[in-house]
Structure 1
Amino acid sequence: MPTILIVDDESIFRRGLEHMLAELSPDWTVSGTARDGVEALERMEACLPDVVITDIRMPRMDGIQLQSIIKEQYPRVRCIVMSGYSDFAYARESLKMGAKDYLMKPPEWEELFGTLSKLKEEWLEESVRRQESAEGDREEKQVRLQLRQHILSSLVAGTVQEEELELLDRVGLSFPYPSWTCCVVHLDRDSVTAGRYSLADPSLFALFISQFVQELIPPRMRGEVFIAGDSKVVALLNHEAGEPEHEEVVRLAKRVCHQIRTLSSLTVTIGVGGAAGDLESAARSFAEAEMALLYRLVQGGDRVLAYEATAGHAGRKAELPGSDWRLLEEALLEGRTADAGAAARQWAGELVSRSADPGAIQQQVCKTVLHFYEAAVRRDCVQAWLGAKEVKQVLAELCSISSRTELTEAFGGILGRLAAVLSSRRADAAVHPVDGVLAYIREHYAEPITLSGAAEKVYLNPSYLSTLFKSRLGVSFIEYLTNLRVEEAKKRLLYSREKIASIAEASGFSNIRHFNRVFKSATGLTPLEFRKERRGEDPL
């Protein structure tokens, strides 16, 4: 609703006009009154009127002077001038100042309301234009911010295009100094309670860190800070060249760590890359900062890790913990979910503690996941385990973790889920694992069968299956399989006219010499002798 400021040195006229507008023109609101031009100017900021209705002749400052100042300082405010003097000179001067109308005092109310109606239409049109302009400004600002983020991300990724560099000024990016250093600030997730992290929007943590870093950048540096993920913030610092300036970057990173820990109870780890001599080389500094950040796996969080200081640490290779590995594999393949998760966490923890090289740790973790991935493929349970993800995505997520706590938890969770899937498969089978193996042997005895292969079918460790099998049947897995094949060969020798070589192959024996030896050991006769004796005819 548009507003009006009434200016007149006669109080009776001010009150009368205010009352009349309130009664007869509900589209307008009187936001204030003033006795003269001086008082009107004092109240302009508080009233913020859209229209000023002013008398001409007033003490201290008349209506013409007031109108002149309003035109200069408040160009959007419309003026209606009233006077009891029918002097054309006043009307001409007022109209030259931009007055929307010059009315005799007291005005004809129809004439006044006609003027206000026109001003109302203009006010509405102007409001729409201002709103559209504001929305346009907001959209343009948003586009600039998005473009700015894209250019910064491309700079540190090394993918920025020449035409994008030409837009630096347009998006407000200025780098007056000859050297650049990239810092990557990573939230230590183990410094945030699970409840606090889940209840809050994770992106708010990164927003808090980015604002904090931006505020601590000293005036002698130019710093562009942007969010690269829920837990990661990148700071591209532009500064003078030289070792002292680069050391100042490291000191800045340490201040950030200290201040965030002191003021928020959160902790961060910051990787600092080496100094770059040109903007295109900022990607190298970023890659070095990311590499330095990997050493959080070895050295822990809540610290600054400079690339120069960490680059020489790699060398000692990780050794696979043998006993822990055996416990992990047995628990997982037997479907013991809790034991598998715990064993995986213990295995990963020992792996991290035994190596000073993050690359070796990541490599061993990936090898281990791929080992069990192959087992999941053989058991046809990859989708039940990983869902819509591909294994390479799982590996990439693991390699992006630079916290030993997060890595052990993530690794334990992945293998724990696989154990749960295997456990569910076994429960769905609803048969004793030995019965499942027997059914498998009877169906596939003619094919190459191993204890390990049979154990995979029932999700057991081979040694554990061997023990169960012997306990249940009184013979070993190999003995049972051999006896079954010999019995099948006997049937074929007695009830078919197949050649001995064909019978050997159909019964699951790899070659006829092996078949002859095993058959005679089991029956005391060669296959030919067995056929001749039992059938009473010459062998074919």
Structure 2
Amino acid sequence: MPSILIVDDESIFRKGIRMMITEMEGDWFVIDEAKDGADALEKIEELQPDLIITDIKMPRMDGIQLQYIVKERYPHMSCVVMSGYNDFQYARESLRLGAKDYLMKPFEREELYTLLGKLEEEWKVENKPSKSSRMDQQVQNQMRQHVLTGLLTGHVHHEEAELLENVGIHFPHPFISCLIAKLDRDSVSDERYYQLNPSLFSVYMQQFIQESLNESFNGYVFIHHETEVIALINHKGFETIYTEIELLTNRIRKDIRVQSNFTLTFGLGSPVKDLESISKSYKEAGLALLYRLVIGGDRLLSNEIVVGMQMEKHDGQAADWHALNQFVQEGDFVNVQQQASQYVMKLCQQWKDPEMIHQQICKMLLHFYELAVNLAVVKQWLQNTDVKQVLMDIYSYSSSKELTERCQKLLGDLTIAISNRQKKFVASPIEIVVRYVEEHYAEAITLNMMAEIVYLSPSYLSSLFKSKQGQSFIDFLTEKRIEKAKSLLLYSDEKIQVISDSTGFTNIRHFNRVFKTSTNRTPSEYREGKTGNKEIPFGVN
């Protein structure tokens, strides 16, 4: 016999519906009642009803939130919603979520009987999934969660495409961006947060985001670390993707704020083109989210915004910031202590608003946290402390002396951690850059990218490279590409366009111009000037 769970915050209404169902002809029976969505979830898990009849407006968890969670956890269950005349927009949202129908309060007995009669017929003809098939689906869902988590850590590669296929994960488009959503804890009262299982907020956010995502993008939404909802967005383009995702997250934030009375903040990483790089986009999204502590939540925070904030310099502080950054990376402990003190003191003299002083210090510390992440020295630096706690502690200091001492301690510890790590490297930064260029000359390479790899500032790396190699980084990169192009022109039959692409040049015109500047010949002239397998020297006709 099909079972029904009735969910409504008004006891008299629950009892009335139960009596109507008891008196009707048919196989339906009421398995239990619940006073709100949170109460219903506990009973759904225990009783597994076939149909849920739920009101929309209820305390703690309303009918819309309940539907999102039921759809995610129990997709085989059916829902019917009840609403007043003024709540029709919510009823429409419920239908979009897959509700079988809705009943407008107050409804007549015959209206309820007609609806239940129709649903009973559907229930009888449906092939209910067997217990074994439900178990198979559960196993596949667990495997999918495991694979998606592996993508975040960089442990799943292109060679394992069959693994993704087996768990139903497909990325048909060239780009993938990682989006992280987190509940703004201050938007939920303690009473509501702790009375309602906190993990249910993540379940609700997951389902809501997936529904919204499906309208515009291909992608997968899943819960990571209980309070973190991840969306891997697969998209075609690159240029307009930030604007498109910003529109999506703005709509999600608005709808959740209106329907569920809480807010959330998104962190967005840069688009990447291969599975191995998803972990990079995830890391960028996580770092962007940390800036919620600095500028507040209920917004989209992207890697581009973070970079802009990091590059933001104020009059009189630019030199201090540059010097501090360089001394930390070079392992100069004494100068780090001195520059940290100067930096904090100038902030306190220049800004009269304590909030702005705290914000600027948090921006600085977040920059160095990103550096520590890239160098894999976070544990050695912060020991057992979490960076979020470090940033929150900054806001508790009310004197310049306390702020100075804290920043000196933090940056001094980071300097020591970086210095200890660098002692383990056999190769010098310049040797690493040279080897990277020789192996990756066909790819897009910039000085900033190399600076990140060797953990030096771009300006310092540029100066160091020229002093060690006797030429600028750009000249060295161009020389390596031209050397490879010359070899391909002489000893292969590849088209010049193909050679241009395979040696890292952006287009054929740029290749022709650079090649002629370097060799005094166009690529075609160079290729034609060969006899057998030997290159004809310049000036010989």
The TM-score with structure 1 as length reference comes to 0.39
